[in-house]
A and B are shown apart, each in its own frame.
Chain A
Amino acid sequence: QKEVEQNSGPLSVPEGAIASLNCTYSDRVSQSFFWYRQYSGKSPELIMSIYSNGDKEDGRFTAQLNKASQYVSLLIRDSQPSDSATYLCALSGSYIPTFGRGTSLIVHP
């Protein structure tokens, strides 16, 4: 049984700061790792995918993967109030992903 662990938060950061969201997992077979953003009352939206160890940057977002330590993280630079949402980590070794329960992020002005 794959397990994906996230701190439920809320993580509160001031506007303009770097928000750091972390996720650990138990399965060493997983090959694909994803971050989803979910606004309250809305569905999850894929924002980052990462498949190899190291960093992957996309605009203000950076995903970091360390397979040896079994963690994946998401950094949000220059955080904005519009980034306030729940962030779900997911991983997949087959076509069925396993989701964490999400971390709530609050960016206050």
Chain B
Amino acid sequence: DVKVTQSSRYLVKRTGEKVFLECVQDMDHENMFWYRQDPGLGLRLIYFSYDVKMKEKGDIPEGYSVSREKKERFSLILESASTNQTSMYLCASSSPGTSGRRSYNEQFFGPGTRLTVL
């Protein structure tokens, strides 16, 4: 059974704190993603990684950084948390496995971390 885990389900931090969110997948997937999800705004991509030590900015990377030292682990870092970073953070992984002309890229999500910054 596929599994993506996230380090915390709920997290409360103070403005200015450095925050680490960790994600681990056991599916040997190449691709990993960090999203945030806010009411009315849908899923927004923060960063993604297609290989160890590789990272690419998504749509809203400002205020965030990431680290991928091992294939199974992808960390999201809030260098100095702010109240507008209060959100649900979702990690996902996928494999670009192909068969003929098909490109799978089915994403599997972790349970999410609801972060509150006070």
Contact = CB atoms under 8 A, between A and B. Distances in A.
Interface string B89-104: 0100010100001111
Contacts of B50: 95
Interface residues of A, number: 22
Contact of A99 (B42, B103, B110): B42
Interface string A45-85: 11001010000000000000000000000000000000000
Contact of B109 (A45, A51, A102): A45
Nearest to B111: A43
B31 A32 contact: no
A49 B106 contact: yes
Contact of A51 (B45, B94, B102, B107): B102
A71 B48 CA distance: 27
Q: Which of B45, B106, B110 has the largest number of chain A CB atoms within 10 A?
A: B106
Nearest to A86: B42
A46 B41 CA distance: 20
B104 A32 contact: yes
Nearest to B58: A96
B108 interface: yes
A99 B43 contact: yes
Interface string B28-42: 000101000000111
Interface of B: 31, 33, 40-43, 45, 48, 50, 90, 94, 96, 101-112
21 contacts: A31-B101, A31-B102, A32-B104, A32-B106, A34-B106, A42-B111, A43-B109, A43-B112, A46-B107, A49-B104, A51-B102, A92-B103, A92-B105, A95-B31, A95-B50, A95-B96, A95-B105, A96-B45, A96-B48, A99-B42, A101-B42
